[in-house]
Amino acid sequence: MIGDAEGPGDLATTLEALAALVERLGPVGPALIVCAAAAFLIVLERGAALAIGGRLPRGRVTRALAAAAGAGRADLADALGDAPALMRTGARVLLDARPQDKASREEAASLWLEGVRDRLNRRLGLLQLIATLSPMLGLLGTVLGMVVAFQAIAEQEGPVHPALLADGLWQAMLTTVVGLAIALPATAARWALAATAEARVAGLAGALSLLSLRLEAEAAGGAPIAASATATRELAA
C-alpha cells in the first residue's frame, strides 16, 4: 500500500527531474532526449529479435544435422523437424532448388542468407547514426551555452564574479557529457548486435553447406555426407 501511494509521487518527481534536465540542456535538449530514447528502443528490439529469432542452440543443430545425414532419409524436411526455424527455412530453400545443379543451389542459399543478414541487421544503421550525431549535438549545445554565458558576462555591470562564469560553463559542458553518454553505449551495442548477427549468419551458412553436400551426394547416387561432431560443434558455437 505504501508503495502504491508513493508511485504517482515518484513518477511526478522523475518527470520534473527530466524536465529540469531538458531545460538545462538548452535548445539541443529535446533532440538529445529523442536520441537516447530511440537508441534504447532499437537496442531492446534488436536484442530481443536476435535472442529469439536468430538463436542456433548447439543441441538442436547437432541433432538436426545428424538426422539429415542419416541414410535412407529421403524427406529432408522431416529430418530437420527439430532444427531452429531459420535453419528449416534455409533447408526448404535448398529443397526447392534440389532439381538444379550445385551452383544454382548455392546461389539460392546465398541470396536467402543475404536476406537473413539484412533482417538481423535491421535498424543498426540508424543506431550508428544516433551514436554519431549525439556527441555532435552535445558539442553544438556546448557552443551555444558558452555563447549565452559570455553574453551574460558582457551584459554584467561591474566586476564579474567567478561563480557566474563557472555556472554558465557548467551548464554549457553538460550537453557534451550527455551526448557522449548516449554515443558510447550506442556504439558498443551496435558493434555487439552486428557481431551477433554475423555469427548467426555464419552458423546458418555452415549448416546449409553441409546439407547441400548431402543433396549433392544423393544426386550422385553416393552415400549421404555425415556431419562430424567437430563440424556441428563449430556451427553451433
Which of 83, 28, 39, 92 is CA-nearest to residue 61?
83
pLDDT above 70 as % of the chain: 69
Which of 226, 200, 232 is CA-nearest to residue 85?
200
What global pTM score does this model have?
A: 0.72
Backbone angles phi, psi at 204, to 5 degrees: -65, -45
How far from 216 is each of 69, 99, 123, 164, CA to CA, in Å?
Answer: 12, 10, 37, 79
Provide the sign of the torsion angle of the four alpha carbons 222, 226, 227, 228, taken in this order. Answer: negative
Above 50 in pLDDT, residue 227?
Answer: no
pLDDT tens digits for 156-211?
776 767 666 676 677 778 899 999 999 999 999 999 999 998 988 888 888 777 77
Above 50 in pLDDT, residue 136?
Answer: yes
